[in-house]
A and B are shown apart, each in its own frame.
Chain A
Amino acid sequence: MSSRPSAKPAAPAPSSKVKTLTIDDRLVSAREDESILDAARDNGIQIPTLCNLDGLTPVGACRLCMVEVKGSSRLFASCVTMVGEGMEVVTDSERLQKYRKTIVELLFSERNHVCAVCVSNGHCELQNLAQTLGVTHLTVPYRNPKLPVDASHERFVNDHNRCVLCQRCVRVCGEVEGAHTWDINGRGIGARVITDLNQPWGSSETCTGCGKCVQVCPTGALTEKGKSVREMSKRTRFLPYLTMMREDRSE
């Protein structure tokens, strides 16, 4: 019995479709194609996440959901790591807390987050994470990069100062709306979300104006025009619902 986690669902074993493992010392069972994150949540164990969103393909972009797996010194992003037989998972430890806090700090330092004057103040997933993880200040220096705001779309704004590169916009637009307007351009610290061929959003020929990207964006990066400080709350509930309806129809 190997307890080595794999990035992909294990090849279907003929007999066992259910895996048994422990999460935080609790014995749980999960379908073999389930991620550690889903298995944890099914059992009421909460792991912090940012890029993950019910109804979108997990990409493992933010790494906040990291967990420890006994027998390996590596950390595993639980949203993209499938359960395995006999796995022993730890979702909370001093080491994990330290890494999670550092990730949140780096996200704040990489762009210009000024929560006090942000349209998403009070409704923002990054802000919530900082609070729940106890990030009261940054131990890394602020970069203060000069970043553009694209307000060329009739109804929406893209403010790169607030983007955390979670790729939710990319996924919802490609996977659910089917327009594939968004992409990520560049690498590392220079990575930016772009619309179409890196042109102003307002000039996009593929965007249908559905607003799904705006609703799933966890921060104040994609917002509706005309919102003032604190006014931009998002509605993400449509997503699992849409996916469910589609699955129903395809059955």
Chain B
Amino acid sequence: MSKVKLATVWLDGCSGCHMSFLDMDERILEIAARVEVVYSPLVDLKEFPADVDVTIVEGGVSSEEDLHKIRMVRSRTKLLIALGDCAVTSNVPGMRNTFKVDDVMKRAYFENADLKQQVPCEVIPRLLPRTRPVHEIVPVDVFLPGCPPPADVIFGALVSLLDGTTPDLSATRFGR
């Protein structure tokens, strides 16, 4: 039997959800036996491959790059999992949503900067007017709320999905 192709992507999040994923400790070997990790911040690969079975997304959609990435990821993925509150609700990255982008930039790069006060105009992708949860941009198949969702829940959900059953999400919630 060919292995399930699994990818993980990291948008506007703190990497805590990826850490929680790794927190399943040696059980990760059980997962590894059944999947092939084809793309991830943990894998050295530049291009998101075509024909991915399952993609786990951490983080909200904050910038033009995030927007481009999530659309591309969705078009190449069968099952999309929103992992953690930033992906599910926009959470902490969304706390800027009540301010204008200009004011956020001014705050970060002028008021809070001592040296070289300037808004970065190269390399750094431009912010969208608001940070949005993933499912407000592209359809999401499974939601795992929590900041971060507990490792047990992530493990349980992955096993259920690999087995073709519905994951039990009763042990996690917004915030936690």
Contact = CB atoms under 8 A, between A and B. Distances in A.
Interface stretch (B38-46, B71-79, B87-95, B114-122): B87-95
Interface residues of A, number: 25
B95 A114 contact: yes
B165 interface: no
Contacts of B97: 112, 142, 144
Contacts of B174: 108, 113, 115-116, 127, 130-131
B131 to A, nearest CB: 9
B160 to A, nearest CB: 14
Nearest to B170: A131
Contact of A137 (B82, B130, B170): B82
A118 interface: yes
Contacts of B144: 136
Interface in A125-176: 127-128, 130-131, 134, 136-138, 141-142, 144-147
Nearest to B84: A116
Interface residues of B, number: 27
A118 B95 CA distance: 12
B94 A142 contact: yes
Contacts of B176: 115-116, 121-122
A130 B173 contact: yes
B161 to A, nearest CB: 14
A146 B92 contact: no
A118 B92 CA distance: 11
Contacts of A138: 89, 133
B169 interface: yes
Given A115-B176, A130-B173, 10 more contacts: A112-B97, A115-B173, A122-B175, A122-B176, A127-B174, A137-B82, A137-B145, A142-B89, A142-B94, A145-B98
Closest 7 CB pairs of A and B: A115-B175, A116-B147, A131-B173, A144-B97, A136-B143, A137-B143, A121-B175
Interface of A: 108, 112-118, 121-122, 124, 127-128, 130-131, 134, 136-138, 141-142, 144-147
